[in-house]
């Protein structure tokens, strides 16, 4: 990328302009999705600003309450959750919201209802705020096909039914990565303009990567295929160089690196968490949606991740996602294990 030339660009593709351009390809479109996305973007800008001054504004400390996942809530989690709920409801385009922070789904009051369901993790990796590690917001969007009273069935759908998904990463820069089902694009917040500018058009994950990302602290509890794959990464049998281990422990940051550089991100099931640890609706599905739209794959150890049908809004699942060839290797190991049984 020519940064010197970029500094003098005058034709800036903002996220709003980008989405409006996409909308113009569908003459029947009413602009509802564009309005909803604008409200999500506003929420991301607000959280980005809050994250940047969290230490100064004393927003880091624990509130003393414990959320539905048994994690002590941080003030910034609570603030981010409130901001996104208010932004989404006020858009007038949503009918049901599922947040990682709330035990129950939020049914939007009839006067403010629209035809979209939004599932989101308002601040993923928030335990990393104190040490300056990148954190982020993850979201997925479903569309309700007909006018009816919204129910949980509207969100308990396989990930392949999503119409869009994305994440916003708050790190050295604020980056929003979005897919509406046709490719993946990355936008970076220009603080001087207060606008997200298209900086990573049409992201494609390399077909094979040199990095694997997993919490090796859980290795003693892994199943056979996971242990064998990691062993192959470190000690390849075919004479190829060993893969590098990179694990940040913040899903948005780990997936972002995987998307750009290739390789695999894994959070497998183990003896401690037999159903996996990551939540299906607002972590596994959106990231799998992005990965597939960038030319990669996402697998649960048993099936394609986007084919999973959740039964509860906070269901968990194992996940392996990343470069196409690398995930093929993991699938082959699970298939071989299945034949042994």
Judged by average pLDDT, the poorest of 75-79, 206-210, 277-281 is 75-79
Apex CA 274: angle with CA 271 and CA 275, to 5°? 160
Q: Is the pLDDT of residue 261 over 70?
A: yes
Residue 61 confidence (pLDDT) above 60: no
Contact 67, 314 (CB under 8 A): no
> Is it true that domain 3-200 has CATH number 1.10.10.60?
no
Residue 56: the pLDDT is: 64
pLDDT for res 68: 66
96: confidence class by pLDDT, cuts 50, 70, 90 = very high
Element (H, E) at 253: helix 251-261
Which segment, 7-16, 145-154, 287-296, is predicted with the most confidence on average? 287-296
**What Rg value do the Cα atoms of the chain yield, rounded?**
20
What pLDDT is attached to residue 22?
A: 87
Q: Which of 173, 174, 176, 103 shows the shortest CA–CA distance to 138?
A: 176
If one compares 85 and 28, the residue with the highest pLDDT of the two is: 85
Confidence of residue 101 (pLDDT cuts 50, 70, 90): very high
Domains of the chain, by residue range, sit at 3-200, 211-338
Q: Highest mean pLDDT: which of 56-70, 134-148, 205-219, 326-340?
A: 205-219
Give the least confident one: 29-33, 97-101, 102-106, 165-169: 29-33
For the four alpha carbons of 243, 246, 250 and 256, in that order, the dihedral sign comes to: negative
Q: Do domains 3-200 and 211-338 have the same CATH topology?
A: no
Share the mean pLDDT of the chain.
Answer: 91
Element housing 142 (H / E) = strand 135-143
Least confident of 1-10, 229-238, 273-282, 311-320: 1-10
Is 119 in contact with 88 (CB distance < 8 Å)? Answer: no
User: Which backbone phi and psi does 286 adopt, to 5 degrees?
Assistant: -60, -40
One-character DSSP codes across 207-244? SS-SEEE--GGGGGGB-HHHHHHHHHHHS-TTSPPPPE
Helix (H) or strand (E) holding 98: strand 94-99
Q: Quick one: pLDDT at residue 311?
A: 97
Q: Which residues make Cβ contacts (< 8 Å) with residue 304, sequence separation at least 6? A: 297, 298
- Report angle CA 221, 227, 231 to the nearest 5 degrees: 140
How far apart (Å, rounded) are the C-alpha atoms in residues 180 and 172? 26
Q: What are phi and psi of 22, to 5 degrees?
A: -65, -45
Q: What dihedral do alpha carbons 129, 269, 167, 1 form, nearest 10°?
A: 90
**CB distance 180 to 163 below 8 Å:** yes
Task: Give 211-338's CATH code, choosing from 3.40.50.1220, 3.40.50.1980, 1.10.357.10, 3.40.190.80.
Answer: 3.40.190.80
pTM of full prediction above 0.75: yes
170 has which bridge partners? Answer: 135, 174
Q: Assign 33 a pLDDT band (cuts: 50, 70, 90).
A: very high
């Amino acid at each position: 990328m020519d940064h010197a030339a970029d500094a003098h660009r005058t034709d800036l593709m903002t996220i709003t302009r980008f989405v409006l351009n996409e909308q113009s390809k569908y003459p029947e479109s009413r602009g509802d999705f564009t309005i909803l996305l604008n409200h999500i973007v506003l929420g991301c800008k607000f959280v980005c600003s809050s994250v940047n001054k969290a230490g100064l504004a004393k927003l880091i400390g624990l509130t003393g309450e414990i959320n539905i996942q048994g994690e002590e809530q941080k003030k910034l989690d609570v603030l981010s959750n409130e901001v996104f709920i208010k932004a989404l409801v006020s858009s007038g385009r949503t009918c049901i919201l599922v947040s990682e922070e709330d035990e129950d789904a939020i049914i939007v009051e009839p006067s403010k209802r629209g035809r979209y369901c939004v599932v989101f993790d308002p601040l993923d990796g928030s335990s990393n705020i104190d040490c300056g590690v990148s954190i982020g917001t993850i979201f997925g969007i479903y569309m309700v096909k007909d006018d009816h009273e919204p129910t949980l069935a509207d969100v308990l759908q396989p990930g392949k039914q999503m119409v869009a998904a994305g994440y916003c990463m708050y790190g050295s820069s604020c980056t929003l990565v979005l897919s509406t089902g046709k490719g993946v694009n990355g936008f970076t917040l220009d603080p001087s303009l207060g606008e997200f500018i298209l900086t990573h058009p049409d992201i494609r994950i390399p077909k094979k990567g040199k990095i694997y990302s997993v919490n090796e602290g859980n290795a003693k509890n892994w199943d056979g295929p996971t242990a064998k794959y990691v062993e192959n990464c470190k000690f390849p049998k075919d004479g190829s160089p060993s893969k590098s281990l990179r694990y940040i422990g913040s899903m948005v940051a780990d997936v972002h690196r995987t998307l750009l550089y290739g390789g695999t991100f894994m959070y497998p099931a183990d003896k401690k968490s037999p159903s996996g640890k990551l939540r299906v609706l607002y972590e596994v599905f959106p990231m799998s949606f992005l990965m597939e739209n960038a030319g990669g794959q996402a697998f649960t150890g048993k099936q394609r991740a986007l084919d999973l049908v959740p039964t509860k809004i906070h269901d968990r699942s194992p996940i392996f996602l990343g470069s196409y060839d690398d995930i093929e290797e993991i699938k082959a190991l699970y298939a071989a294990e299945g034949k042994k049984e």
